[in-house]
Structure formats: C-alpha cells, structure tokens
C-alpha cells in the first residue's frame, strides 16, 4: 500500500494514537486497584479529580503525542515527493486507532440520544422549590440532574411528597453541587475518551467520590443536614428501585452504588488526612517533558526516525 503524503500522515497519527493508548492504558489498567485505594485516602473532591485525571490520561497523552510530536516531526522532515509503502504493523495499528476513536464517538452519541429521550419523555412543568428552579416531572425520576450545557433539575411528584422540607432542601443542594462541579460534562468526557483496556474500576470509583463530594457540600459539616440527606437518600432509593438512569443523567442515588456505605459515611462524618497531589504533579511533569521534547529540533528528528521505522 502506497498512500499519499497526507494519507501517510493520517495513518501514522492514528497508529501513534493507538500505540500510546496501548502503553499508557495497559499500565493504568494494571495499577488501577492501587490508584483507587489511593483515592480512598483523599478528601472526596480531591479523589474525584485524581480519578478523573487518570481516566482521561491514556486518551489525553495519546492525543498530545500526536499533536505535538508526530505531526510536527512528519511535516518538518518528511519529503513531500517521497513515496513509501506502509507496512502491515503500521496499517494494523492505524486501523485499531481509528476504530477506538469511532467506538468512543458512537458510544457518546448513543448516550446523548438516550439522555435526550429520557428528558423529553419526562416532560413536566418548571417551578420553584426552596428558591431553586426545577422541573416537576410525571415519571418516577426521583431526583436527577440532566443536561450538559444547561443542566435541568428533575424532581418527580412522588419524591416531592415523600421528602420533608428539610430533606428536600439538602437534596437540592446536593444536585446543585453536581451542577457547580459540571459532573455531567465530566461524564461526557469519560465517554468521549477512548480506552483500549477496561477502566470500569476507575470510573466507578470516580462516581463514588463525586457523589461523596456533593454530599459533603450539601451537608456542609452539619450533623442535622447530614442525617436529613441520609434519610432522603434512603427514600429516593426506594422510589428508584430497579430504575437505571441514562449515562448523562446524574441521579441523587445511583442504581448500582452501595447505599449503606454512603449513608453510614454521612452519619459518621469521616475526617480525611491532608494529602499531596502527587499524581497531579507527576502528570504536569510528563506534560512538560513532552512539550520540551517537541520544542527541540533534534528530538523531532528522532521522532521522525521512529515514525520511519513504524512505516516499514
């Protein structure tokens, strides 16, 4: 196979994306249990940031490597008149890389469609509850935050009847905490980030930490508010038993979470030790290393030589 100049660039970019994904994603899958344990020692908000960074790391580093290493070195050193055949390894890696990206895009499109249909089927009327704009819906949605750019807070009529005014207020603060931290947007980024290896363990831990962080912001360290939120969680969980929300709809109670652990945590008010964000510092160091390599002509020439070997 002898593609054109730009065709070789596309194949190399896709192949490099796949290879970086393979290396970084494999290491991350290997150390995922240790990373989850590490996140468990952090305050929930810090743990959620740490886990989200790890989940996006393979796709982020792969895209960064292509953008600032592969493409610049190819455009600078590859002769435009050269006609080279593409080897089987490069072609296979390029196909796998393109398949990864296509799969992530398709998965995201399906999630957006499911979430849009869910909100449309819920219907409802806009109202004000405890000073907050909400949508009172017909379906048994319990409590949920739907939408990316302009999230909509959905409350079912049954949930309105089941919760006391205090429980309703603290549950609203919980969902507003999700809105302030843009957790639905983060869910979208997780769906968009292709992953060669299954990273479900990290994704589940991120959901748990994000819920705990929203709990802490809603209760604000007050024992009565924590107890009210715990009771609200139990009541909403009964209403939503067996109901699975779409991927981009953040529910007050997730269908597959350990509710007893979350309730016990609210009633016990745990204290977390202060932690150094070593993971974030290591990530910044890797980013700076890649950028410094990209700024060096000698480094770009080495990268181009590696690309030549990949083409063969």
8-state DSSP, 250: E
DSSP, collapsed to helix, strand or coil, labels residue 214 as helix
Per-residue pLDDT of the chain (312 residues; tens, 9 = 90+): 566 778 888 888 898 899 999 999 999 999 999 999 999 888 899 899 999 999 999 999 899 888 888 888 877 777 776 566 777 787 888 899 999 999 999 999 999 998 888 888 777 777 777 677 788 887 666 788 888 888 888 888 888 888 888 888 898 889 889 988 999 999 999 999 998 888 999 999 999 999 999 999 888 888 888 888 889 888 888 887 767 778 888 888 876 667 888 888 888 865 454 444 555 555 566 666 666 665 566 666 666 566 666 655
Give me the phi and psi of 125, to 5 degrees please: -125, 145
> Measuring CA to CA, which residue among 169, 178, 172, 162 is closest to residue 234?
162
Beta-bridged to residue 250, according to DSSP, are 145
Rounded Cα gap, residues 251 and 184, in angstroms: 10
Predicted TM-score (pTM) of the model is: 0.84
- Cβ atoms within 10 Å, residue 304: 20
- Cα 250 to Cα 160, 181, 186, 310: the distances in Å are 18, 12, 11, 43
Name residue 134's beta-bridge partners. Answer: 127
Q: Which residues in 87-232 belong to E strands, given as ranges?
A: 125-129, 132-137, 143-146, 152-156
Number of structural domains the chain divides into: 1
The sign of the CA dihedral 205, 211, 215, 221 is positive
Domain that holds residue 286: 5-311
pLDDT at position 298, please? 61
Helix (H, G, I), strand (E, B) or coil at 127: strand
Residue 273, pLDDT score: 46
Q: Are strands 152-156 and 132-137 parallel, antiparallel or unpaired?
A: parallel
Residue 275 has a pLDDT of 46
Distance of CA 235 to the CA centre of its chain: 28
């Amino acid at each position: 196979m002898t593609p054109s100049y730009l065709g070789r660039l596309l194949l190399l970019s896709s192949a490099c994306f796949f290879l970086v994904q393979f290396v970084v994603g494999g290491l991350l899958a290997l150390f995922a249990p240790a990373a989850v344990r590490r996140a468990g020692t952090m305050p929930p908000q810090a743990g959620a940031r740490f886990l989200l960074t790890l989940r996006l790391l393979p796709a982020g580093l792969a895209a960064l490597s292509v953008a600032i290493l592969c493409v610049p070195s190819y455009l600078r050193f590859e002769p435009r008149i050269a006609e080279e055949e593409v080897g089987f390894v490069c072609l296979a890696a390029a196909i796998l890389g393109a398949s990864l990206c296509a799969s992530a895009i398709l998965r995201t499109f399906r999630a957006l469609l499911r979430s849009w249909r869910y909100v449309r089927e819920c219907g409802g009327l806009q109202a004000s509850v405890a000073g907050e704009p909400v949508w009172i819906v017909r379906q048994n949605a319990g409590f949920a935050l739907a939408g990316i750019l302009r999230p909509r807070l959905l409350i079912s009529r049954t949930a309105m009847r089941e919760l006391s005014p205090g429980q309703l207020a603290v549950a609203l603060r919980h969902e507003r905490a999700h809105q302030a931290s843009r957790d639905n947007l983060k869910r979208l980024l997780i769906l968009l980030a292709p992953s060669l290896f299954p990273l479900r363990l990290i994704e589940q831990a991120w959901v748990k930490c994000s819920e705990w962080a929203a709990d802490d912001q809603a209760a604000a360290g007050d024992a009565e508010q924590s107890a009210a939120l715990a009771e609200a969680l139990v009541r909403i969980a009964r209403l939503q038993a067996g109901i699975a929300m779409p991927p981009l709809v953040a529910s007050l109670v997730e269908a597959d979470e350990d509710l007893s652990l979350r309730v016990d945590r609210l009633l016990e008010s745990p204290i977390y030790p202060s932690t150094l964000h070593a993971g974030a510092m290591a990530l910044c160091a890797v980013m700076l290393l890649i950028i410094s390599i990209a700024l060096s002509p000698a480094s770009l020439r080495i990268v181009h030589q590696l690309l030549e070997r990949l083409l063969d």
